Structure formats: C-alpha cells, structure tokens
Structure 1
Amino acid sequence: MRAVPRKLPLAIAFALVLPLSACGLFESKPSQDDIARNFLAAFAKGDTAAAAQLADDTNGAKAMLDKVKAALKPKAVTLTAAASQPPSGDTATVPFNADWNLGDDRSWKYQGSLAMTKASGDWKVHWQPEDIHPKLSAQQSIELKVQQPDPAPVLDRDGAPLLAPTPVIGISVDRKQAGDLGSVANALAAALGQFDNTITAQSIIDGATKTPDGQVYSVINLRDSDYQKVRAQIHELPGVSFVTSTQLLAQNKALGPQFLTAIKTAVNAQVAGAAGWHVVTLDAAGNEVNDLAGKDPQAAQSLTTTIGTNYQAAAQAALAGVPQASAIVAMQPSTGEILAVAQNAPADAQGLIALTGQFPPGSTFKIVTGISALEAGKVTLDGPQACPGTTTIDGRVIPNENKFDLGTVPLRTAFAQSCNTTFSQIAATQLTSEQLADTAKQLGIGADFTVPGVTTVTGSVPVPTSTVERAEDGFGQGKDQVSPFGMAVVASTVVKGSIPTPSLIRGTQTKVNTPAQQPVPGPVLDSIRQMMRAVVTDGTAKAIKDIPDVAGKTGTAQFGDGTNSHGWFVGYRGDLAFAVLLVGAGTSSPAVVVAGNFLRAVH
C-alpha cells in the first residue's frame, strides 16, 4: 500500500523557499567606492575606454582622458582611491591620490576627487574635467611643457668665450607643402650654398624625398646673423619652415672649427644644464591658466679650458695660407695645459689629425736618438761624429738630404745640420733596439692619456727587429709613428724634465693609462737643449733665428714610396712647447716658417 505524503503547512513551505529567492532579490551592487576604484585603475593603466564606460558621459570622458594621456605621455600612473564619506542621497565624493611618472625624473603628485552619481540604482563617475585634476575646468586642456636652459659657455684660459649660447634658425622643408619641390630646392640652394657648399638643389630634393610623410627635412641651421642675410630670399617659400633655438657655437668660426666641434661634442652633457618642466592648464585659445606642478630649468656652470685665444688665433693664422693639410699643437710644459690645437681646412677634412693623426716623425726623432745615446754614455755633446754624404748599413744605403757631407763634426753640429748618416750609425752601432724604444717612452711617445674633452694619440715606437730597422728608426724613417700632439709632448718633456700630464678642461683629471717613466737625467737634458738651440742658431731652422730663445728640431719625413715627404718643426720657447706638421710639404722649411709666424704672433 503506497504511503500518501503529508501536506506541510503553508508558512513552513514559504520559509523553506525564501532563502533561495532572497539571493536574487537583494544581491548588492558595486558601491561608489568600487566604481571609483575601477575607474582609477583603468585610467592608470591607459585603458581610457574602460574608464569612460564607468562615467555618466562616456564620450566626453573618453575624449578628455585620451587628450590628457596624449599630452602627458606618462611612463607610469598610480591612482589610489581613499575612503569616501557616506553618500548624500544619490551623490558622493571619492578622494584619490595621484602619482604621475612623466619620465626624466619628473614626478607629479596631487590629491583629487571623483564626483559620483547614482542613476537607476547604479553608481557612475559624474564626468567633469575636475575628475582628472581639481584645477582643470571645462573648455580647458592640460599640457606638459619642457624648458631647456641655454647651454653654459665654454671659456678660454682667460675667461673669454670660445663657445657660447647663440641663436640659431633651423631651416626645413616639407615636400608635401612645397608644391613644386624642384623650384623650392633651387631657391634654397641658391641662398644657402654660400654657407655650406654641399647644399645643392639635388641634395635637398633627395633629402626631402627620403623623409617620411608628416616629417620635415632639415636643410641647415644658421646663426641669426647669417639667416638675416638670406631671409628675404627664402622666408616666403612654400613648405619651408623656420625654428629658432639656442645652440653652443664658436664665437669665432675660424678659430679651429674641427677642434672646437670636438670640444663641444665632448662637453655637451656637462654644459646642457637641467631641463625645467611644468604641467599647465590652457584655455581654448592656448593661453596658460594654471601652473599645476614642475620646476624651473637650471643652467649649468660654465667650463673653462686651458686654450688661450691668442695662441689659438695665432696658430690658425699661421696655417691659413698653407695649401697642404697642416696642424699646430702648443702646450705649456710646466703644467701640461694644451694652449692651442690648430688645423687648416685641408686637415679638417681628414679629421682631428693634430691630436690623433699618425705620421713618421722624420728627423725630429733624432731628439729621441740623441737622448738615448747621451743617456747610455755612448756620445757626448761635442764629441766627434762622422757625417758622410751616405752610409751603408747591412746593405741599406742611407743618404743625407742632397747627400751633403760634413766630414767629422761635433755631435751638436751633426744634430743641428740633421745628419741622417750620423744618427743612423749611432742607432745601429751604439744602441740596442730596446734602448731606442725605451727612450721614446721616456719622452712620452706611446703614453696613453684619457684627456677630458678630447681624444689624443701620442704615437708608437715598436722595438726594431733588425739592425737596419734600428738604423732607420734612428732618424725617424722606420716604423715610428707620431702625432703633432705626441711631438708637442716630447718637446714639453725636454723642457720640464719629465712627461707632463696634458689637460684641456680646468677642474678635470686626466687619466694616465701607461706606467710612469724614469725621467731623463738632467745633464742629458742640458745637452739636448743645447743641441736643439743650435738647430735654430746655426742649423736647419736658421730662418727664425731672429726670434730669441727658440730651440727645436726640423724633420723631413718620407712616406709612401719615398718620393714624398712631410715637413716637421718641433720645439719650444720658454714655457711654450709646440709641434708643427705640414703633410706632404716635401721639406721641413715651410714648417719652420709657419712656426716662426706663430711664435712672433704670441710673443
């Protein structure tokens, strides 16, 4: 017999069903705090669409959020909601803390608040610009302004500017807006070619054509004074734009352009200063309304170099009429301070050869050979030395210039007259291969310096591997390689008695990367100084004997197949040491003349 189920009382049945129905009927919705947190989180991670969906004006919110994001380009944003007060009816306010990382150590922090509204039972952000920042109002925008300070000047040793902040006009062309690009290019080339002969109509067309759409092709930057000369010719050209900025430029364009450009490149970061920045609000016309945050730019301190404008100008002037690539380096032996680094235009085309070029030293290397033999006790200042027109060493015939023959003469005379035969025999028969190389190091050839502001190379003297190589090294025609800077260091060492540490920027430390060398003994230095003085009074540099107290050594250095020669003159006067190189001059005589013009100008 089947059991008949009992009917439960209605009240009990309702009680059993009620808990299941209550979960659906009374489920809680996100609070104003929840919506505020979600809005801030979405905006912070750059999801403006998701953030705008939580506002009561989705389109208006997204448009403004996108504009702010594009204007500030933040690296990171942290937006943290704080505890809100209980709602007042259908409105509430949720405070938040903002931290914007705008890059380059720019941090913008502030406290804001979101206006919240409840409609149809759901909380939304009541959209208004003040939701982003309390001082951002309707019809306004926000902007990050970065302000670069003018670069600090670079001064000479006496405080006069070598490089100074200078107004510059950048001239660019937009091929899309130019219309007839060929016509515009012709007009620009005609006006600007006088400042840079590489600017042609074709170079402008090529450059503009390769420039991506939406970008402009930079043609040239002109000093304001130069721009004014051509303004009337180019200012109204279609598609041509002009942007004014301030750049660090040489005050005298002829005062060593290659060298000063190298200094500028090396110190740009030091003289740039710290950029300022401000987050501002702008009205509809672009006028600044509120400065919300930031700091002003900070100019850097000026840098003082060891360069003397008088020395630099005199060196440049001395090279001005020389047709070959030529260079002068001048130093102060007592301090190692670089006084001048000058080159003419043909040298500039090859780079900064004054400081890093490598050339055979020719007979200037007899300074090294002479010191090496004197230090070894193999020769004396006035001891007799043979100076035949030619000499043969292991089958290698070594001639004097034009095969002049002096017979037997004192060492100082052989040095003054630049007897190749004498010094090749001394190197081959009186010295070891290591002695020559070691003496070169004692005088600074091969020394490696890290000089703040410039790159330098003194040279190299490999240890000769044969008697012939040693003989050739003895008069600077072996594998020896030096720069004008390196020979200025040699001359400075002869004056000072030890290798000076070169410097260019005051207040910086030059790093010496090679081991310290034993100084040349005083008596040896006295002898070589007398020998170098005799070069000017009675020898190959007699052309400048009218200038008091000059001592030096000429050098004619063959290169290539031996039919061409560089011209050298290396020397000192008081606390001024110098090296002059004329590339491919054929003889040392023009170098002596250049050195004389330089010395007369500075004394």
Structure 2
Amino acid sequence: MRRSPKDTAESFRKISRRGLLLAGTQLAFGGVLAMRMRHLQVDQADEFRLLAEENRVNIRLIPPARGRIFDRNGKPLAENEPSYRITMVREDAGDVDAVIARLSTLVELDEDDLNRALTEMKRSAPFLPVTVADRVTWDEISRVAVNAPALPGVTPEVGLSRVYPRKEDFAHVVGYVGPVSDRDLARYDEPEPLLRIPRFQIGKVGVEAKMEDALRGRAGAKQVEVNAVGRVMRELSRREGEAGADLQLTLDADLQAYVQARLGEESASAVVLDLENGDIKAIASAPTYDPNLFVRGISVADYSLLRDNDHRPLASKTVQDAYPPGSTFKMVTALAALDAGLIAPDDTVYCPGHLEVSGRKFHCWKRAGHGHMTLEQALRESCDVYFYDLALKVGIDKIHEISDRLGLGVAHDVPMSAVSAGINPSRDWKMRERGSEWLIGDTVNTSIGQGYVLTSPLQLAVMTARIATGKVVTPRLIKSIDGVETPHGVGAPLGFNENHMRQIRRGMYAVSNNRRGTAYRSRIIADDFRMAGKTGTSQVRNITEAERRRGVTRNEDLPWNRRDHALFVNFAPFDKPRYAVSVVVEHGGGGSTAAAPIARDVTLQALYGGDPPLDAYPVADRPRIEALQDRLRREREERDANGQSRA
C-alpha cells in the first residue's frame, strides 16, 4: 500500500527532529568532553605533572653524621669512622647461593650475619640492597671490587659507624649506640622517618641516649629516578644532612683513665668534682666493659659474661646505685644539731660502747666505747654513740631538712642513665612508702647513715662539695654543645652559719691528719694539699645479739657479698678546697682500709694533674705507691696504644 504524500512529509519531519535531537546531544556531549579535556590538560596540568613526577621520582633520606663527643681537653671519646660493608641485590645476583659461595672465598662471612641477611632478602623486595657483611676491611673491599664481574648483584659500600677509642674508660658515662628497635620506636608518638632507615643507630644508654636529639642531627635527602616497579635508575639531586652537635664533656680523659685503672676489678665507684664550677672531672664505675661490643650487636656469649658477673659491670654505680652512706652521713647529723642550736662544739657525750633507746641497745663500732667525746673527736674517731645522742636531741625533721640542703635524696640533672634519687627518709616518706609511723629507733639509725637512708656516690660527692664550699654546688657533665658553654654548677651560699661549717671541716681534717683519725694512714703529706675526709662503713647484714656476745664475725671471714660496703668522702686542699671526691667499694669491708686509700690517690692525681711525687705520701706507703704508679702507668699506656691502633 502506497503512503500518501502527507504521511511521507510527517515521517520526514519526525526523522528530522530526532536527528536534530541526537545531533544536539552529541554536540553537547562533545562540548562537555572538550571542556573536561581542557580542564584536565590546561587547568590541572601542573597537578598531574606533579603526580607523574612523583611516580617517576622518589625522595630518599640520607642519614646525617652523628655528633662527636670529646673530653674537656678535646680528646675524642666517641667519633665516627668509615665503615665498609658489602650489600647484595637479590634480583641482580640471580643464583644467590652461588654468588655467596664465591663471595665467601674473598671475604670472611659471619654465619649469624649471613643467615640474618638471607632472611632479610626473602622479606624484602628483590631489587632492594641487603647488607651481607658489615665492618669489613679495606683489603676485603678491594678484593670484592676487583672480582666484581664474577659477583653479580654485589656492591661494596662505605658509611659511618660509631667507635669509642677510649673503650672501657667511659662506657658508663658516654654509653653506646645501637640499631633502632621496636621498643625505641614505641617511645615516640610519631617516630621521625629517619628512625625507620634500616640499621640506623641511636643512643641506647648514657650521654648517647640522653643527648640523642642533639647528637642525631637532621637527615638529608636525595631525589632518585625509579622505573615502574620502583627500581632506582639514577640519582637526580642530593641535599646533604645536617650533622649532629658536637659535645664537650667536663671529664678529664687522663684522670678518668687513672681512676678507672685505680679501681681495677673491684666492684667500686668514684666521683671527682671541681669545686670552682661544679664540673665532674671523673666519674667511674668498676668493673667496666667495652661499649664497641654493643654498636653492631653484642654476641650472646659476650653479653652473658657481662650479665652474669656478680660485680655487675653493666651497672653505672656512680648514679644508678644507692647505698647506706654509713658514717659519711655523720656530718649531716652534726650540722643539723649545730644549725638548730642544740649543741656547742665543746659539749661532750659519754660513749660506753652503746646507747639504749626504747629498750633496744644501739651499739658503737668500738665495743669498749670511746669515753667522753666532743664533736671534733666524734667525727675524728667516728663514734656512733655521740651521733645517736645528737639524733635524739635534733629529731628526724631537722636531719631531713639538712640532708636535702646538702644534695641528698635528689636525682641530680646529669645526662646519664637511671640516675637515682636515693632516699632521704622522713615521717611522710615512711607513711607513704611503708604505711607506718616513724619511730625513734629510725631516727637513731639514720643518724649514722643506716636504716632507710640511701645515697649514690654522686650525691656523696655533692654533699662533700657543699660542706667544703658552703655553696650550692651542682654537678655539671656537659661543658659545651657545639662550642656554646653551658652554665656552670656553683650557685649561691647555702645559708649555714660559717662557724658551724668550720667545726664540721675541722672534724673532717682530724679524720685524715690526726693520729687517732680513722683515715690517718691514708693522709696526704704535702702541706699545700692536705685533705679533710670522712670514712664510712655500711652494714649489709643484721648482726644479732648472739653474734655480738661471741664476737662479731670479721668481714674477711664472710662471703664477699655479705661484707660491709666501704665508703670515703673528702675535699682538698683543706685551706682552699679545689676538689671533692667520693669512693664506694662494694663489700670492701672498711672505709679506712678499702675506700680511703683509693680516694687519697685519686685526689692527689687530680691536684697534680698527673702522677704526684712520692713525697706527697707517707714514708711507709712510698714503695707500694711507686710500684702501683708503675703498674697503672703501663696499663694506661697499653690502653692508649690499643685505642690509637683501633682508631
């Protein structure tokens, strides 16, 4: 059936409208597409160019050089040395086992390090380098470089590693560094990206840890071009990091070495304070260890030897440990009574060998007693009963106050690990910590440095420095940071009556220079350098009445760890104090026999700035001192030679 012209015209009109609508739609879509393309290619061109660049260019951190540590005279205590290592890229090596076999003929590979490297290769991307051998020699690096064609994927590299040229002498002060651990990262809310660099090292203990932020420095950065799978193709640019700050300590390396050698293998510690500025000139714990062992990870065998040693070489005894101060505390009790106006220097107390308080006998170290004692005599001969009597008069509140003013019970602000505050006991302290009331017997015990009172060797040195000067002497360990001097540690007067201070000092002088003094055998003969001191012996076991009746067992007849601690504190010269010294010998027996001779020798070494002349010592001691000086001199020279050869 033929369509009419009218129907044909109507169909044509409909088709034309649909065509126009479709064409319009296509035109609109094309316009939107064109506008979008313009937006992407013109308006957002910089953004997409940056995204493309980020896919092609990576930013990688460059570890900064760690700040160095020096003694007060510029001698290096911690520095950085070139460290050669050998890395391997798994995908470039191909047959890893075969390459390692060839490499082992050129370089001695540690089995533990090698196993650790193989494990790391399996976990890492195949194109990332993994350290196979660390701290290799230059000769080994040379052999690897010469045989490079036979060692695909193997690359010799050079970096910086921490080294401690003085080894054992500064282990407890400077500390050591080690690789960042998960425990280290957990200490930060947002760990710095630098800490996530493989094998990056940070301070673990000592100054290295406490001054980490200053020593670490700031990371540099390099731009590298990578391909689609992230493999480095080339380096585009580099910005070196900012090295960490150099630190200068107040310590004198030579004096520190002498003190360390003089302590020997005793479980002991010693502190030397400069009274002019509060500088710590030496602070040594014995026995000690080589911190270089920890830098790359100490072996289980080496660590076990240190951990299981009953003399605790890993402990920083000068600040970390706290001991009953024994009779070195008697100056505190005496000053408390003088300051309260309860005694005069010539007042006497009768010592029959004990004092009965609340039905309990408190014994003097001298069983037969000392008879009538003045303050100076009581300090000179260390009469316990005299100070028991003072304690009953003055009470714990005043003793606690004076102890605090002299620097006891305070965690002094020095950048060393685990600085102890010790215990300066009081009524509130006992109720808070022990849940019981303070008793009169507690005061009596405290008066002679027993009972609850605990002090560190550093605190004892500070106490002695404040008695010697009458000023607030605060210990300083950091002398300067990047050449900028830190504030010194001598402050305002303590506010004590100077006549009272002179009475205490005279008593300490008699300890070392009067024939009846407990440290007379360890006196200094040189008139210009006479010292004032105080012996101390602190019990570590309870002595029963039954043992007292049959005779107290001598220290030398007891097991080592049951013997009394030996202590001695002193300052010199007496007329113009320059140094304060404290010495603690764990389980040494008696302060006069074990600690005083060490303190005297250390004091003379500090005063003379080297080995003192023999005529500074008592005549009877000179042959022994000469032999000792020769031995210690040889030991120091040997250590210095070993340190220089290592450096």
Using the size of structure 2 for normalisation, the TM-score is: 0.64
> Could you say if the C-alpha distance between residues 308 and 221 of structure 1 is closer, same or farther in structure 2, counting changes exceeding 3 Å?
farther
- What residue in structure 2 maps to residue 252 of structure 1? 166
Q: Measure how far apart 1:541 and its partner are.
A: 1.4
Residue 499 (structure 1) aligned with residue 502 (structure 2): no
Structure 1 residues 295 and 530: CA distance shift in structure 2, 3 A: same
Q: Note the alpha carbon deviations across 1:89-110, whole angstroms, 9 max, x for none.
A: xxxxx6657558xxxxxxxxxx
Give the match's secondary structure for 2:210.
helix
Deviation for aligned residue 1:564:
2.8
Deviation at 1:379, TM superposition (A): 2.8
Q: Distance in 2 between matches of 1:524 and 1:491?
A: 15
- Aligned to 1:254, the other structure's residue is in SS state helix
Quick one: distance in 1 between partners of 2:407 and 2:566?
Answer: 21
State the AA in 2 paired with 1:247: S
Selected match of 1:318 from 262, 272, 276: 262
Runs of at least 5 residues in structure 1 that lack an aligned partner in the other structure: 39-80, 85-93, 101-130, 193-200
Match for residue 549 of structure 1? 530
Q: Contact 1:354–1:485 at 8 Å: present in 2 too? A: yes
Change (3 A) 1:398 1:322: farther
- The question of 1:362 aligning with 2:326 is answered yes
Equivalent position of 1:167 in the other structure: 82
Task: In structure 1, give the amino acid aligned to 2:82.
Answer: P
- 2: CA distance, partners of 1:23 / 1:451: 83
Is the counterpart of residue 379 in structure 1 residue 343 in structure 2? yes
Partner residue of 1:535 out of 489, 511, 529: 511
Report what 2:22 is aligned to. 21
Question: Which residue does the alignment assign to 2:583?
Answer: 580
Distance 1:553 1:260 in 2: 30
Q: Deviations over 1:321-360 (max 9, x none)?
A: 243x211122223322222221112665352221121211
Contact 2:79 2:162 in 1 (8 A): yes
**Aligned-residue RMSD, C-alpha:** 4.6
AA aligned to 1:566 is: H
1:204 to 1:132, Cα distance in 2 relative to 1, 3 A: closer
Is the contact made by 1:149 and 1:298 (CA closer than 8 Å) also made in structure 2?
A: yes
What is the identity, as a one-letter code, of the residue corresponding to 1:155? F
**Range with bigger deviation, 389-398 or 241-250:** 241-250
Q: Is the 8 A contact 1:274 1:299 kept in 2?
A: yes
2:400 equivalent to 1:399: no
Q: Which residue of 2 aligns with 1:105?
A: none
**C-alpha distance in 1, partners of 2:377/2:395?**
24
Question: Would the aligned equivalents of 1:374 and 1:380 in 2 still touch at CA under 8 Å?
Answer: yes
CA distance in 2, matches of 1:424, 1:206: 65
Aligned to 2:425: 462
1:329 corresponds to 2:264: no
Distance, in Å, in 1 between the alignment partners of 2:78 and 2:410 is: 29
Whole-Å Cα distance in 1 between the matches of residues 116 and 394 of structure 2? 60
Aligned position for 2:184: none
How much does 1:210 deviate? 8.7
Q: Report SS of the residue matched to 1:459.
A: coil
Which letter maps to 1:381? P
Q: CA deviation at 1:163?
A: 1.7
Structure 2 SS opposite 1:469? helix
Q: Which has the larger radius of gyration?
A: 1
User: Residue 518 of structure 1: CA displacement?
Assistant: 5.6
- Corresponding residue for 1:55? none
Does residue 445 (structure 1) correspond to residue 377 (structure 2)? The answer is no
From 42, 67, 72, the equivalent of 1:152 is 67
* 1:147-226 correspondence runs (5 A): 147-168=62-83, 213-214=122-123
Closer, same or farther: CA 340–279 of 1 in aligned 2, 3 Å: same
Rounded Cα–Cα distance in structure 2 between residues aligned with 1:473 and 1:577: 23
Deviation at 1:25, TM superposition (A): 5.0
* Structure 2 residue aligned with 1:308: 252
Matched, 1:263 2:262: no
Matched, 1:523 2:499: yes
Aligned-pair CA distance for 1:466: 1.6
Q: What is the CA-CA distance between 1:490 and the residue it aligns to?
A: 0.4
- Comparing both structures, which one devotes a greater share of its residues to strand? 1
How far did residue 482 of structure 1 move?
Answer: 0.6
Contact 2:279–2:488 (Cα < 8 Å) also in 1: no
Label 1:348 to 1:82 Cα distance change in 2 as closer, same or farther (>3 A).
farther
- Report the Cα distance in structure 1 between the residues aligned to 2:477 and 2:400, rounded to whole angstroms: 28
Aligned to 2:615: none
CA contact (8 A) 2:72 2:248 kept: yes
User: Structure 1 residues 327, 288: closer, same or farther in 2, change over 3 A?
Assistant: same
After superposition, give the CA deviation of every residue in 1:393-449 in whole Å (9 maximum; x if it has no partner). Answer: 22333333352532113321221111112212221x321121111111111112344
Q: Cα offset for 1:581?
A: 0.9
1:208 Cα shift?
Answer: 8.3
Deviation at 1:173, TM superposition (A): 12
CA contact (8 A) 1:580 1:594 kept: yes
Q: Structure 1 length normalisation: TM-score? A: 0.68
The one-letter amino acid paired with 1:556 is T
Structure 2: 5+ residue stretches without partners? 90-94, 176-205, 289-310, 428-437, 544-561, 609-647
The residue correspondences of 1:230-249 to structure 2 (distance < 5 A) are 244-249=158-163
SS of match in other structure, 2:473: coil
Q: Give the deviation of 1:15 after TM superposition.
A: 3.6
Secondary structure of 1:334's match? coil
Q: What letter corresponds to residue 28 of structure 1 in structure 2?
A: G
Per-residue CA shift, 1:229-262, capped at 9, x if unaligned? 9999x999x9999875323432210222122100
SS of the equivalent of 1:478 reads coil
* Gap change, CA 1:561 and 1:432, over 3 Å in 2: closer
Partner of 1:566: 565
What does residue 299 of structure 1 align with?
243
State whether residues 82 and 97 of structure 1, in contact with CA within 8 Å, keep that contact through their aligned partners in structure 2.
Answer: no
Give me the whole-angstrom Cα distance separating, in 2, the residues matched to 1:410 and 1:289: 82
- Encode CA deviations 1:149-181: one digit per residue, 9 max, x unaligned: 32221222223322222234679999x9689x9
Q: Is the helix fraction higher in 1 or 2?
A: 2
* Secondary structure class of the residue paired with 2:256: helix
The higher relative CO (CA closer than 8 Å, separation ≥ 6) is in 2
Contact kept, 8 Å, 1:316 with 1:342, in 2: the verdict is: yes
Deviations 1:22-57 (A, max 9, x none): 14654418758846976xxxxxxxxxxxxxxxxxxx
Q: Aligned equivalents of 1:462 and 1:557: distance in 2?
A: 17
SS of residue in 1 equivalent to 2:241: coil
Contact kept in structure 2, 1:443 and 1:489, CA below 8 Å: yes
Q: Which amino acid aligns with 1:446?
A: G
Contact between 1:364 and 1:555, CA under 8 Å: does it hold in 2?
A: yes
Kindly tell me the number of residue pairs found equivalent between the two proteins: 487
User: Aligned partner of 2:439: which letter?
Assistant: S
Which amino acid letter does the alignment assign opposite residue 580 of structure 2? A
Residue by residue over 1:443-473, the C-alpha shift from the partner in whole angstroms, topping out at 9 and shown as x without a partner, is 1112344445655334222126122111111
* Structure 2 match to 1:471: 444
| SS of the residue 1:386 aligns to | strand
- Return the letter of the residue paired with 1:328: A
Q: Is the 8 A contact 1:501 1:510 kept in 2?
A: no
Q: Is the 8 A contact 1:248 1:264 kept in 2?
A: no
- Whole-angstrom distance in 2 between the partners of 1:402 and 1:462: 27
| Percent of aligned positions that are identical | 22
The question of whether the paired residues in 1 share the 8 Å contact of 2:420 and 2:456 is answered with yes
Task: Quote the Cα distance in structure 2 between the aligned partners of 1:446 and 1:503.
Answer: 18
State the distance in 1 between where 2:87 and 2:285 align: 31
Tell me if structure 1 keeps the 8 A contact 2:222–2:235.
no
| 3-state SS of paired residue (2:471) | coil
SS state at 1:585 partner: coil
Rounded to whole Å, the distance in 2 between the matches of 1:478 and 1:242 is 62
Shift of 1:305: 1.9
Q: 1:594 aligns with which of 593, 598, 601?
A: 598
Q: 1:567 is paired with a residue of what secondary structure?
A: strand
**How far, CA to CA, are the matches of 1:247 and 1:297 in structure 2?**
16
